[in-house]
Structure 1
Amino acid sequence: MSASARSAEAGTRIEIVLVKAGRTKLRYPASVVSDDGTRLTAVAPWAAEGVRDFGFVRFEPGDVFTEHYWRDRWYAVKEVRGADSALKGWYCDITRPAVTRDGELIAEDLDLDLWVSADGATVLRLDEDEFAESGLAERDPDAAARAIAALDELELLAKLGRFTALID
């Protein structure tokens, strides 16, 4: 299938479907900003109810996420801005490559995450304990290795100050 046949037009509404352990974890509407057939970028408001305070950042009503999903990479990068448009940072989900079909973008969460603060000074690897407990390394060693490599790649890019080149 050609890239153009798989691409969604800018302005199209799409449902983002985050899957974890075979079940839908979260589903929310977003608006496509761009789609070149490999990377789809969409904008969505904070989709969960209420405030989620991680200690290093708070996600809350009014926040806007510009989300970048790749069909050939094992991660998604979500730029997070507050209601005042101030950049909070980037939340990165380690996922299998995204799949689009029937107005949905489906991303399978593999438990690993990375946080990069707005100034780039804070880079945090998250949920490594959940990843270990998930059993992915035993069930699908190749996927586990790709997930760890994706997390390592994002962390290195962030620490080298080249993180935003992924999404520019």
Structure 2
Amino acid sequence: MSVNSAEPARPVDVVLVKGGRMKIRYAAGLLADDGTRITVRAPWAGDGVRDFGFVRFEAGDVFTEYYWRDRWYAVKEVRDASGALKGWYCDVTRPAVLSGGELVVEDLDLDLWRSADGTDVRRLDEDEFEESGLAGRDPAATAAALAALDELEALATVGGGLESLLA
């Protein structure tokens, strides 16, 4: 099934784990799974409005989320209720696991935002990542996470870079 398919999306629950605990669980529709990349679509799952200063997530926003089984990140295309692109929110994560009706992803605290027009690219939550203690517990995961953030930033600063991941 492809993202542009007329077939109805199969329901799945996206489960974000952080620090060994479930951070959030929300319903999504599975749009595509090619064995490596998993694509789901879901409405904004947060309570109320989340205003970061540089973007607001709110009721009516739709997230098309791309997860990989072999990469240490997820890319979320964010659109408002009218369909206008707000930008891309990228999470540094361990590779995703889809089992039955659950897509489980471990959030590693590092994030990246890129605005729709590409003029605002920012690394987020590096302080949280530092405070997580991952470097002491799992140096290999720390290296993979930092490399993933660098890769995302490089893609986000080149025209069409992030979009090339999602085609």
Please give the TM-score of this superposition, normalised by the length of structure 1. 0.93
- The answer to whether 1:158 aligns with 2:128 is no
Cα distance in structure 2, aligned partners of 1:67 and 1:160: 20
Cα distance in structure 1, aligned partners of 2:153 and 2:8: 30
Cα distance in structure 1, aligned partners of 2:162 and 2:32: 19
Secondary structure of the 2:146 match is helix
Q: CA RMSD in A?
A: 1.0
Match of 2:32 among 34, 44, 49: 34
Deviation at 1:10, TM superposition (A): 6.4
Match of 1:6 in 2: none
Match of 2:133 in 1: 135
Deviation at 1:35, TM superposition (A): 0.7
> May I ask how many residue pairs the two structures share in their alignment?
160
Deviation at 1:79, TM superposition (A): 0.2
- The answer to whether 1:106 aligns with 2:117 is no
- The answer to whether 1:17 aligns with 2:15 is yes
Cα distance in structure 2, aligned partners of 1:107 and 1:29: 14
Match of 1:115 among 99, 113, 116: 113
Cα distance in structure 1, aligned partners of 2:156 and 2:8: 28
Deviation at 1:30, TM superposition (A): 0.3
Match of 2:66 in 1: 68
Q: Verify the 8 A CA contact 1:10 1:35 in the aligned structure 2.
A: no
Q: What amino acid does structure 2 have at the position aligned with 1:54?
A: F
Match of 1:84 in 2: 82
Q: What amino acid does structure 1 have at the position aligned with 2:72?
A: W
Cα distance in structure 2, aligned partners of 1:25 and 1:10: 28
Secondary structure of the 1:146 match is helix
Deviations 1:60-94 (A, max 9, x none): 00000000000000000000000111100000000
Q: What amino acid does structure 2 have at the position aligned with 1:164?
A: E
Please give the TM-score of this superposition, normalised by the length of structure 2. 0.94
Match of 2:92 among 91, 94, 108: 94
- The runs of 5 or more residues in structure 1 that have no matched partner are 1-8
Cα distance in structure 2, aligned partners of 1:117 and 1:97: 24
